[in-house]
Chains A and B, each alone.
Chain A
Amino acid sequence: MIPEAGTHLPREQQQQMRRATRLEWASIGYAACTITAVALVVGNSQAMRTAWVEDMLSVLPQLAFLIACLVVRKPRRPTHPYGYHRSMSAGHLVAGVALLAVGAMLVYEAVSGLVKAEHPTIGTMNLFGHTIWQGWLMITVMVVLSVPAVILGRLKIKASKPLHNKLLHADAKMAKADWQTNLASVIGVGGIAFGIWWLDGAAALVISAGIIQDGWTNTKSAVVDLLDRRATSFDGTDPHPLITAMEAQLKTYGWIEDFAIRARELGQVMHIEAFVVPIVGELTEDRLYQVREDLKEADWKAYDVVIAPVDELPDFALQPREVA
């Protein structure tokens, strides 16, 4: 059954949504453990500090997702006639900009440390009466922590696909790449162990470049959605396969002479307008209602479908469709 346009997802997607929410809570719990564990050993290594900040930042998209989940289910009302689906995009944007800003800050710190030739000092800890160099503890913590992050990331990628949720997808990709951050900090601390002081700053630079890249990807994707770009699927298929499918559907009606679809993303669903030019004298109310029903039933993502009979297609439809 296709639910009424508005707030609800089909049963399968609702289940996926609950699963995704659980995964995000698990990620936040895991991040809390990571942040605590790394805080205990972080010391003076710039690479470790950068990885630590990255751990804290990784919570942002997760928080954005969970908060958006609360808002997104609100029903539409006169003041918000499109519903609250865009709260996902808003969260996405906030997370992206935060990543960019902090990434830039960390790049500055890494570069200034390298330029000033600051030699990172890492001392020892007294563990059960043994004097142990903290670097070994850092390396152990980073290696141990990298495993669950990758597993969580893979699970989230699986959940994000049927949900058509780009925020979740971006978050999952970040988590999946988290082991690279940990590896870089291990190399940095390993460098310090061998007296290669600059390797630490270099590793910090690599990690912060990764953060900036995440930030850029997230910001770009969120801004593009907020600018009402033609809908794409989260793997970059452009136009979204649903648009192609609907166009094929519209071709099957004998009374439609020409048509154009305008679809934009509202978070994980789509707002779709179909402009149809009827053959003169062929347009009836029933035919119009039928087209709307057919398009709505094509997919759960077709959340808000408007059919507009026109005598001439809008200008965007008259240009070659591949123009970026």
Chain B
Amino acid sequence: MRSKRVRRQRGVVALICGGLALAFSGCASSLPMDPEGTLDSVRNDTLRVGVTPHEQLVKIDGGSLGGRDVELSKEFAAHLGAQPEFVLGGEESLVKKLEENELDLVVGGISSKTPWSEKVGITRPYAEITDEKGKKEKLVLLVPPGENAFLSELEYFLDQTQEMP
């Protein structure tokens, strides 16, 4: 009775170890996966970026967009071999589109303390700015919720290119 239980427990432990080994060695490069496949659909295709106006980081000059966050999105699109496609809007509508998988990324001076982090995914802070009142603020980007492969790829890109405070 006892030995049978011990054997069963050993079996479970072996199973976990085996599973872990498999996860780490076999497919570690393709894990984590996206439930909705965002990374795959963006790669070599289109990166749909929502841009929300921000004094320092987004410059709207007639029809063309510029500024640090816009440049960053372009560079990330290039990293994935994709064309950026920009959508201008307010944070709330952009976050909604992110939730419904109509956008892949939202940029525009979003603070690391954003309340949207309950609805969608946020990256680690990639930069720090000082606002007009002299308060320091860490900046993040918004991604679709639960798209962990896409988020991991974005954070890898940020690690390689940004200051990451």
Smallest Cβ distance from B144 to chain A, in angstroms? 8
**Cα–Cα distance between A194 and B27 once the two chains are bound (Å):** 10
Contact B19 A123 (CB under 8 A): no
Question: For residue B36, which residues in chain A have a CB less than 8 angstroms away from its CB?
Answer: 119
Pick the residue among B31, B35, B124 that contacts A133 (CB under 8 A): B31
A4-12, A15-23, A185-193, A288-296: which one contacts chain B? Answer: A185-193
> B16 — which chain A residues lie within 8 A by C-beta?
143, 183, 186
Binary A-proximity of B130-165 (CB < 8 A = 1, otherwise 0): 000000000000010111110110011001000010
A124's partner among B19, B145, B146, B152 (CB-CB below 8 A) is B152
> A121 is contacted by which of B23, B24, B33, B151 (Cβ under 8 Å)?
B151
In the complex, the answer to whether A123 meets B151 with C-beta atoms within 8 Å is yes
Say whether B34 contacts A195, CB under 8 Å: yes
Interface residues of A in 115-145 (CB under 8 A from B): 118-126, 131, 133, 135-136, 139, 143
B121 touches A (CB below 8 Å): yes
A197 within 8 A of B: yes
How distant is B82 from chain A, measured CB to nearest CB, in Å? 20
Contact B124 A119 (CB under 8 A): no
B124 contacts A135, C-beta separation under 8 Å = no
Using known A-B contacts A119-B145, A135-B32, A197-B35, determine if residue A124 contacts B20 with beta carbons closer than 8 Å: no
Q: Is the CB of B146 within 8 A of A120?
A: yes
A-B contact pairs, 29 of them (CB 8 A): A118-B145, A119-B35, A119-B145, A119-B146, A121-B120, A121-B143, A121-B145, A121-B146, A121-B151, A123-B121, A123-B123, A123-B124, A123-B152, A124-B151, A124-B152, A126-B159, A131-B152, A133-B31, A133-B152, A139-B20, A139-B23, A143-B16, A183-B16, A192-B32, A193-B33, A194-B33, A196-B35, A197-B35, A197-B146
Binding site for A on B (CB under 8 A): 12, 16, 19-20, 23-24, 28, 31-36, 120-124, 143, 145-149, 151-152, 155-156, 159, 164
